[in-house]
Amino acid sequence: MTETLRSRRSNLAVPGSSPKMLEKAKGLPADQVFMDIEDAVAPIAKPDARKNIVAALNEGGYEGKVRVVRVNDWTTQWTYADVIEVVEGAGQNLDCIMLPKVQTPEQIVALDLLLTQIEKANGFEVGRIGIEAQIENALGLLNVDKIATASPRVETIIFGPADFMA
C-alpha cells in the first residue's frame, strides 16, 4: 500500500437516506463528501440509505471530491452490512470508509481485514480504500496513537468534540 494524501479542507456531510441531497452534493464546493449511514439515518432507513449511496457513487459526478461513507460503529448490528454492501456495490468509486466511535486499534484492524477480504473477492486493488477514524470518547483519545498506526489505510483521525460534552 502506498501513502495517499488527499485535501480535506472542507467536508460536506450528506444523509444517505436522501437521494435529493446526495445529488445536490455533487455540485457543492467541498474537498470531501461523506455520505452518512450512521447518525443522520434512522434505523429503519439504513438499508435504503446503503442502496442510495451505492447508486450515487456509481452514477458519478463527485469528481475532485474525496468520496467517503460513514458506516455505523462496531457496537451496532449494522456495521457489517454497511461495509459489505457499500464496498461490494461501489468500491471502485469509493475513497474511504469513515468509522465512528473508534476506541481501540483492534477496531481499525477489523475494518482493514474486512476491506481486504472484500477487495480480494471482487478483484479491487487491495488497500486503495482508506479509513477515517472518528475519536468520540475518552478511551479513543487514550488510544489515539495506537489507532492512528493500526493500519496503513488510516488517512485521517477525526476528533468529535461535541461527543465529549455529552
CATH of the domain at 111: 3.20.20.60
Locate 25 and state its grid cell.
452534493
pLDDT digits (tens, 9 = 90+) for 106-129: 999 999 999 999 999 999 999 999
Contacts for 165 with CB less than 8 Å, ≥ 6 apart? none
Look at residue 34 and tell me if it is in a domain: yes
Range of the domain at 149: 11-165
Predicted pLDDT at 36? 98
φ, ψ of residue 40 in degrees (nearest 5): -80, 0
- Pair 71, 83: CB distance under 8 Å: yes
pLDDT digits (tens, 9 = 90+) for 125-140: 999 999 999 999 999 9
Predicted pLDDT at 9? 86
Look at residue 6 and tell me if it is in a domain: no
Look at residue 30 and tell me if it is in a domain: yes
- Pair 66, 33: CB distance under 8 Å: yes
Angle 43-44-47 from CA coordinates, rounded to 5°: 90
Predicted TM-score (pTM) above 0.75: yes
Q: Give the count of beta carbons closer than 10 Å to the beta carbon of residue 29.
A: 8
Look at residue 3 and tell me if it is in a domain: no
Look at residue 4 and tell me if it is in a domain: no
Look at residue 1 and tell me if it is in a domain: no
Look at residue 83 and tell me if it is in a domain: yes
Look at residue 85 and tell me if it is in a domain: yes
φ, ψ of residue 63 in degrees (nearest 5): -55, 135
- The structural domain count of the chain equals 1
